[in-house]
Amino acid sequence: MQIYSSPEIDVYHHFGTSDFATVMFAPMNWAGQTGDFWGRSVAEKLGITTIGVTAKRPNWYPVKDMNAAAPAIRAALKSHRVVISYGASMGGYAALKFGALLGATIALAFSPQVSIAPDDVARFDPRFLDYYSPDLHGGMAVREADICRYPLVFYDCCMYQDRRHADYVAHHCPRVQRVVASLTGHATIGVFASSRKLRVLLQLAIAGDVPAIQQLTTAAIKDSSVRKHEIISKLIMRERYMDYGLAAFEKHRSTFDNVQAARVLMRAAKTHLSRSAPALAVGLLQQALELHSGEVNAMMLMSDACESLGDYPASIAWAERGVALRPEDMRLATLLRAKLLALTTGGVGTMFS
C-alpha cells in the first residue's frame, strides 16, 4: 500500500506479522516495478512489517522529501517498539541519515556514503559527485543528531572509499559501531542475500550483540559467492592480472547471475580501454549487453569504445540509448552533450571510461 509520494520518492507499507518493523531504503538505480519496493520479497518471506522507501532517481533521498514523508511513516510504525532502518550504498546513507527522524531504534547500513557533497567527500570519494545538487542536498552529511540509538555500518576495510566513509561517520557519530566485511567490495549487503542469514542478523541486531554480528558476518562471507566475485573483479581491474581474472571468471561463471556476470565483463572492458584495445572491449560489452540488455553503464562504455575506434555515429547512438533508458540521470545527459559538442568541434575523447 502506498502511503506517500513526491517527485523524488515513493513510500509503501507492507503489513507483516512480526513484532518489529523495518524501513528498507532502495539502493541507487534499483530497477523495480512501479508500485513495488526494494526488499519486498524478503519482507514477505519473513513476514516482516516493512516500510519500503524508493527513490525515483539517484537522488540520495532529499531531506525535504523525507521530512514530508516522515509523519506518514511514523504513523505506520507507531505500534512497533523496535524499528530497524536498512539499506545499502545510497540506501545505507538514508538508513543512517533518517534513523532519528523516522523513530528507528537500530540502523543496518551497508557500504553507506555519509554524503555526496563535494565539500564533505571530494577529497576521498569522487564516485557520486555528479549526482550532487545544491537544491536537493544542502546539509546532507550524516551527523550525530540524525542517527538512531543503535547504528551499525558494514564495510569492506580493503575498499578505500567505503572505509573512508565508515571512518568519517564514526568520527562524527560516536554511537556508530562498525562491522568489517573484508573482501566484499561495495557489495557487503550481498553477504546477507539469503533470508535465513538475514533473519539471524535481525535477531542479533535486536539483541544488541555486535560481537556476534561480526562473527556472523565473517562466517557468512566464507559461505558467500560475494568474496569470490570481489577477488575476481579485483584481478580483472588490474591490467597485469586481468587474464588470470577472466580465467577464474570462466571457471566460476555458474556462481554469477546474469547481472553480476555482465558487470564483471564491463570491468574487463574498462581495463581493455585503458590498454588502448577498444576492439576487445567491444566484444566483452556485447556479451555484457546480451546478459543484461538494460545495463546503461555498458552502453556508455560501448559509446567510449566506438569513439576510440573512430565510429562516431555508433558512439553517439550508444550514448543516446543509455540516456533514453535513464532520462532522469543528469550525469548521463551531461556526458552525451559533451560527446556531441566534442564531435562538432573535433575534440572527441572518451568520457565515461
Pairing of strands 2-5, 9-14: antiparallel
pLDDT digits (tens, 9 = 90+) for 248-299: 999 999 988 898 899 899 999 999 999 899 999 999 999 999 999 989 999 9
% of the chain beyond a pLDDT of 70:
97
| Rounded distance between C-alpha atoms, residue 137 and residue 123, angstroms | 18
Are 167 and 55 members of one domain? yes
* Position 279 in a domain: yes
What integer is the mean pLDDT of 69-98?
A: 97
* Position 39 in a domain: yes
Does position 224 have pLDDT exceeding 90, yes or no?
A: no
Going by pLDDT thresholds of 50, 70 and 90, the confidence category of residue 347 is: low
CA angle 53, 191, 114 (to 5 degrees): 50
- Single out the residue in 190, 223, 256 at which a domain terminates: 223
The structural domain count of the chain equals: 2
Are 196 and 91 members of one domain? yes
Contact 14, 23 (CB under 8 A): no
Going by pLDDT thresholds of 50, 70 and 90, the confidence category of residue 337 is: confident
Going by pLDDT thresholds of 50, 70 and 90, the confidence category of residue 239 is: confident
Are 181 and 247 members of one domain? no
Nearest to 115 by CA among 172, 65, 68: 172
Are 88 and 49 members of one domain? yes
Are 188 and 241 members of one domain? no
- Single out the residue in 223, 242, 269 at which a domain terminates: 223
Q: What is the pLDDT of residue 237?
A: 86
Please name the residues in contact with 260: beta carbons below 8 A apart, sequence gap of 6 or more.
Answer: 229
Are 175 and 238 members of one domain? no
Which CA distances in Å does 178 have to 7, 88, 111, 154?
34, 14, 11, 6
How does DSSP classify residue 32?
P
The dihedrals phi and psi of 23, each to the nearest 5 degrees, come to -115, 110
Contact 60, 137 (CB under 8 A): yes
CATH code assigned at 325 = 1.25.40.10
* Position 350 in a domain: no
Are 192 and 326 members of one domain? no
pLDDT digits (tens, 9 = 90+) for 130-175: 899 999 999 999 999 999 999 999 999 999 999 999 999 999 999 9
pLDDT digits (tens, 9 = 90+) for 295-316: 999 999 999 999 999 998 899 9
Does position 16 have pLDDT exceeding 70, yes or no?
A: yes
pTM to 2 decimal places: 0.86
Are 163 and 93 members of one domain? yes
Are 46 and 33 members of one domain? yes
All three cell numbers of 235, joined, read 584481478
Contact 302, 289 (CB under 8 A): yes
Q: What is the pLDDT of residue 42?
A: 94
CATH code assigned at 195 = 3.40.50.1820
Q: What is the pLDDT of residue 345?
A: 66
Are 210 and 233 members of one domain? no
Contact 180, 159 (CB under 8 A): no
- Domain of 76 in residue numbering reads as 2-223
* Position 352 in a domain: no
Are 208 and 81 members of one domain? yes
* Position 54 in a domain: yes
* Position 351 in a domain: no
Q: What is the pLDDT of residue 353?
A: 54
* Position 214 in a domain: yes
Pairing of strands 177-180, 150-155: parallel
For the beta carbon of residue 347, count every other beta carbon within 10 angstroms. 9
* Secondary structure of residue 170 in the 3-state scheme: helix
Are 186 and 235 members of one domain? no
pLDDT digits (tens, 9 = 90+) for 93-142: 999 999 999 999 999 999 999 999 999 999 999 999 989 999 999 999 99
- Single out the residue in 205, 223, 241 at which a domain terminates: 223
